[in-house]
Amino acid sequence: MKLPVKTRNLIAFTVLSSAVLISCSPLVKYRNLPEVKAWEPEIAKFDSITRNVKYPEDAVIFAGSSSIRLWSTLAGDMSPYNVIQRGYGGAKMSDFAVYSDRILSPLKCSALVLFIANDITGGNSDKKPEEVRRLFSIIHRSFRKDHPRVPVFYVAVTPAPSRWKAWPEIDMCNQLIKSWCENHSGTYFISTDTAFIGPAGEPRSELFRNDRLHLNAEGYKVWSRIIKGELDRILKQ
């Protein structure tokens, strides 16, 4: 059966509009990058866990890169808050932004804590601080679609010894995101640099593992105290 002209025109318009929207998406240049697509199996694991595990609806989501994934004492450190852990090693703002709908949208929660630390490392492929800030705003907007009133906490990138040479750019990125958070209701920046930089003005190596990048047990104690303090300040109002 031949469709009426108006119907055919409507279908064509819908298809064209969808194509235009996709091509204009701020994430279009990231979606097909091999380093972004490589995370598909990891994200699929999150999909499965989310489908099969029933979490308390008041849980706090902790999401981001390896410092979240390796946080083996998270549940105890954040007690009495219930927690949902969604970290994967090597996460960048670009891939997290692409997958954020799958990682965050299906979950009910009382707050989101986000830490992503691999976009600026001192390498040739580093993003500019403003690009990282823009990607964070995309993640924030995606999360807000399904969680319009849930507090969002962004944890500053830690001054790690192995990436100290990149600290000026990392710090600039932190400051851009801090300023952005201050201008968006219900969004909070958690600063950590003063706790991780010693009196000599360099990272406190005693708070990091032998790789000089990831926190050790003492480092997590410091991190936990700061982050939980901010959760208490906002969630217990």
User: How many beta carbons lie within 10 A of that of residue 91, not counting itself?
Assistant: 26
Under 8 Å between Cβ of 163 and 213: yes
Q: Rounded CA gap, 16 and 90, in Å?
A: 36
Report if pTM > 0.85: yes
- What is the per-residue pLDDT across 44-77, written as a single tens digit (0 to 9) for each? 999 999 999 999 999 999 999 999 999 999 999 9
- What is the per-residue pLDDT across 116-173, written as a single tens digit (0 to 9) for each? 999 999 999 999 999 999 999 999 999 999 999 999 999 999 999 999 999 999 999 9
Phi, psi (deg, nearest 5) at residue 86: -135, 70
User: How many beta carbons lie within 10 A of that of residue 49, not counting itself?
Assistant: 13
Output the CA–CA distances (angstroms, integers) from residue 218 to 56, 65, 120, in the order listed: 29, 19, 24
